[in-house]
Amino acid sequence: MNISRKILIPVFSCLTAAVISAAALAGDTTRNTAFYSEQNVAGASADATVAHGITLKADGSFDFSVNGVTYKNEYERILAEDGFIYRIDYNKFGTYTQYSQGIGDNEITARKSTYKAEYVERSLYNLKALGFTAINPWILAGGSGYTYDENGLVTGLGDRFVTDLRDLMNSCRKVGIDVVPTILVHGWGHLFNYDYNGLSPYEIRLKYFRYYYDETAREAYIENGVSKVCEILSEYQDIIPIMNLTVENGTLTNDVENGMLYAEDGLAWKDFASLLNVLHDTSKKYMPDIPTSVEDVGWDINGFKYNDLKVDIIGYNYYSVKGTPNLETRFQQRPAYLGELNVGESANVDQYSDAVLNAARVRHYRSAVEGGYLGAFFFCVHTMAPGRNSNLFAEYRTDDYSLLQDYALDLSYTISDLKNEYKGMKPVMDKPVLLYNFDSDTNYWIGGRGVDYFTLERSENGGAWHVIADNIDSMDNSMDNGLLTYVDDTRVPGVKYRYRVIAVDYNGNKMTSDPSNENEVYVPAEMFVDASGNYAGGFEDGEYKATYADNYTSENSNGWYVRTDASGRPHNCGQFTTEEAHSGQYSFKVDYENGIGTPGQYTSFMFYNLKLQPARTYHFGVWYKTKRGSISITVRDYNNNNLAYTGLTNTEEGDTEWHYIETDFTSSDDGLVRVVIMNSSNTLTNTRFYIDDMTITEFR
């Protein structure tokens, strides 16, 4: 196959003239001198190469000439090179208990940003390594990011939101992965299930989300909010193939005349459609060459409603073990992608085995390509997956490679095969791909198929490459999920290391990976220490402080404080014991049946105050033994907001081993946190366990 001919196909022409007029695509597509800020290319005065070989010109415009071929935009380039956009949902940021907030602060809920640039960049690195070419972030979820006046009208963008958004875009540009940003997410108050600032969820909708139907509120929303977001995004057109206007809002709309009744308090379709058309026009004002899209606007029976929208691309969602339907069988007048695809809603996946579900996940991209779609988002990275074991990483952590799901590598190989098939290539073996090195002596990589053995090379401080391990056998160095791993125990502090892997097939042919990220030896300090700097996570004091009243806001405790009742008596949360210990002399014991600890719903708790570095990401871990029943271990700020939650997994009766579990959290802006242990169920009265050796270390 003549690859150059295929790349020259004008892919963007598949968007019909009825959808994108010549006038809509005319004009200066990318001028924005604001790009020359410190967040981007500080002091730029000449042409610069940004992502994918695309040139940012000195006048602020983009030149999409790559490898001798000129494209109109990133959408055209990525489709010409791969034939399909392999995408993944990366909707929210932060750690598991922080998913309710992502980019920017939320003035409605008073929740602070949980975005951590270093954490996200590492995730992006690994998602690209797995073969994905784009992510879909929900950049304005639940009304976050905007500032409001006393009437709930948008007045501008929050400073933290602007910082977070630029960090995200710069990380994507650095890693070389594209972004399909979503502007409007569940905007009809859908995510608000609690009262905030004295307002009920319904009152919050009426105050802050009137822009769906009220002209005054909409004007403020567009001029003071969306326009400013689009202005920032226009500086990154080298990594934006599509602007997604909304997700999962259509099911909150009603049209009585056509029998479209989705929600009891739904919005009129005409108001929703007019809002989306204004969003489309706003996006085109700043980025006229970038197509717009919508995801999951409504059920198939009302597909004709798409004709009311100006958008260029339609998004559908599928969660089926049977793959995706052929586009030719659908009501369709415009190009389409799959906004989400996976294997099933939680209500029906239990009838299938893991093997069946994993096989279906792996087939999804091939069926989407063969079905005529132009791209698809795999759902998902984080906890909101629609079915059993749907996350790429179990337990929602991208830094622990043992948690990468078994199907992830098969999915990666499928994407690689589809890209090669499009280009008319059939390599004899796969190119190995290193995953991000988290300051560790252990390297992890996707080895590929058709390989006899691997060679690992290392470079110190940017110097020459030299072999540190040869004849690495894939069978002896493979993890259960298929990743290859090798421990380099010859590293020393003060040196910057990079690695690369060479795969050798049975005929002596070689394929060399791209170099890994640069990293140094890092030994994190233990942060679970008392006021004197001594390790305090092992319960070695062997006693409670009598009450939490005196030192409730102290920066570091000298022991565990316990909640007291009105008469000053401590609640029986559990007791310190020398019966069992993971290390040292003491552990903490709960045994409701024998009167050690009291069953209840958050009625009995103990805590330890700690002073950490402000707004840093940490690992929190704990050892436990013979777990049964219900208990909560959380890390909170001094406003009582959960930063981390650790759920201890029930173990088999008679299990006598110590088990370790950990999670990640981001410390508060002042660094003051407390570790809290409490009862968490009124109904479970047989809770019994020991815990010991809590640890908190900074995550880099």
Question: Do residue 241 and residue 386 come from a single domain?
Answer: yes
- Residue 104 counted as domain residue: yes
One-letter amino acid at 434 equals L
Mean pLDDT (whole number) for 152-181: 96
Confidence of residue 346 (pLDDT cuts 50, 70, 90): low
Q: How many domains does the chain divide into?
A: 3
Q: Are residues 437 and 350 in the same domain?
A: no
Q: Is residue 188 part of a domain?
A: yes
CATH number at residue 296: 3.20.20.80
**Which residue would you say has higher pLDDT here, 395 or 16?**
395
Please check the confidence at residue 100 and state whether its pLDDT lies above 90: no
pLDDT at res. 598: 83
Domain boundary among 470, 504, 520: 520
With contact defined as beta carbons under 8 Å apart, do 221 and 211 qualify? yes
pLDDT at 231 over 60: yes
Q: Which domain, by its residues, includes 490?
A: 432-520
- Cβ atoms of 244 and 276 within 8 Å: the answer is no
**Given phi > 0 = left and psi -120 to 50 = alpha, else beta, which region is 156?**
left
Q: Are 53 and 104 in the same domain? A: yes
Note whether 299 and 232 are same-domain residues.
yes
Tell me if 528 is assigned to some domain.
Answer: no
Q: Are residues 196 and 241 in the same domain?
A: yes
Q: Are residues 410 and 438 in the same domain?
A: no
Do residues 494 and 378 share a domain?
no
Among the candidates 387, 421, 455, a domain finishes at 421
Shared domain for 316 and 450, answered yes or no, is no
Average pLDDT over residues 524-553: 81
pLDDT band for position 202 (cuts 50, 70, 90)? confident
43-47, 216-220, 569-573: least confident range? 43-47
| Mean pLDDT for the chain overall | 84
Q: Which of 373, 394, 421 is the last residue of a domain?
A: 421
* 545 or 1: which leads in pLDDT: 545
Asked whether residue 329 is assigned to any structural domain, the reply reads: yes
Return the bridge partners of 15, or none. none
**76-85, 182-191, 420-429: segment of lowest average pLDDT:** 182-191
Strand partners, 487: 442
Instruction: Between 187 and 603, name the one with better pLDDT.
Output: 603
Domain contains 618: yes
* 36: its two tokens: 């020359």
* pLDDT for residue 38: 36
Q: Are residues 312 and 260 in the same domain?
A: yes
Strands 292-295 and 260-261: unpaired
In the chain, the N- to C-terminal Cα span, in Å, equals 46
The single-letter DSSP state of residue 478 is B
Residues 626 and 498 in one domain: no
Beta bridge partner(s), residue 497: 460, 519
549-555-561-567 Cα dihedral, nearest 10 degrees: 0
For the chain, helix (H) and strand (E) counts, in that order, are: 11, 38
Looking at residue 37, what is its pLDDT?
A: 34
What is the mean predicted confidence (pLDDT) over 615-644? 87
- Residue 532 tokens read as 């004197």
Is 526 contained in some domain?
no
Of 58-62, 152-156, 394-398, minimum mean pLDDT range: 394-398
Please check whether residues 74 and 176 belong to one and the same domain.
Answer: yes
pLDDT computed for residue 27 by the predictor:
32
Q: What percent of the chain has pLDDT over 70?
A: 86
CATH code, domain with 597: 2.60.120.260
What local confidence, expressed as pLDDT, does residue 19 receive?
31
Answer yes or no: do 272 and 331 share one domain.
Answer: yes
CATH of the domain at 487: 2.60.40.10
Q: What letter does residue 366 receive in the DSSP assignment?
A: H
Does pTM top 0.85 for this prediction?
Answer: no
Assigned domain for 426 exists: no
Task: Flag whether 263 is in a domain.
Answer: yes
